[in-house]
Structure 1
């Protein structure tokens, strides 16, 4: 799990996790649906040019992908109306749900 996006060691942890998975910046960015230059910006320290902090949504996508290796399929709106039951269950499991009860 990545540290909070605004922590001093986020940039180090992100780079370590990405490299541990054998991913390039481009591969990781494409997997979570962001611009390819952003991973490099997140991995810079706050004292360097081009430093950036991911949004909470992007942090979640990074954390989910690096934890599970599963591509992020949700649209940025996270609207459940657009998901199949199978996709919704998969997303809930990726987020740590132990059981799911669906009532119609």
Structure 2
């Protein structure tokens, strides 16, 4: 069974399990019922579009890879350290999103090529 998606081990474990089954990313996506770009986003933490699967998607990925809840390799969340909180690269240091200002978040979005409009209630 795959480790919890917040685990540092998750991206590599997903890739290793997929490759061990001889599956392409597209084949895994099809078998799990997700969009074909999602396995890459789950497997590559350095990808600008990196994300973690939802609980529903985790179940689908485990099923697509042939894991069952009775699998002896099941890992628990307690054994896997959480991934670090998302951060922005501000000048020469990282800033936690929890501590970032709206201006810093907007600047990071622009740096990544994302166009966003923020609307605030009056």
Scaled by the length of structure 2, what TM-score is found? Answer: 0.53
Task: Identify the residue that residue 41 of structure 2 maps to in structure 1.
Answer: 41
Aligned CA RMSD, in angstroms, stands at 1.4
State the shift of 1:17 in Å: 0.3
State the alpha-carbon separation in 2 of the partners of residues 48 and 33 from structure 1.
Answer: 22
State the shift of 1:65 in Å: 1.7
State the shift of 1:8 in Å: 0.7
TM superposition outliers: structure 1 runs of 4+ over 4 Å: none
Kept in 2, the 8 Å contact 1:64–1:95? The answer is no
Task: Identify the residue that residue 58 of structure 2 maps to in structure 1.
Answer: 59
Task: Identify the residue that residue 24 of structure 1 maps to in structure 2.
Answer: 24
State the alpha-carbon separation in 2 of the partners of residues 9 and 23 from structure 1.
Answer: 19
Scaled by the length of structure 1, what TM-score is found? Answer: 0.62
| Structure 1, unaligned runs of 5 or more | 69-93, 97-104
State the alpha-carbon separation in 2 of the partners of residues 6 and 58 from structure 1.
Answer: 14
Mean CA deviation greater in 58-67 or 35-44: 58-67
Kept in 1, the 8 Å contact 2:3–2:10? The answer is yes
Task: Identify the residue that residue 116 of structure 2 maps to in structure 1.
Answer: none
For the pair shown, which has the larger CA radius of gyration, 1 or 2? 2
User: How many residues are matched?
Assistant: 70
State the alpha-carbon separation in 1 of the partners of residues 43 and 17 from structure 2.
Answer: 11
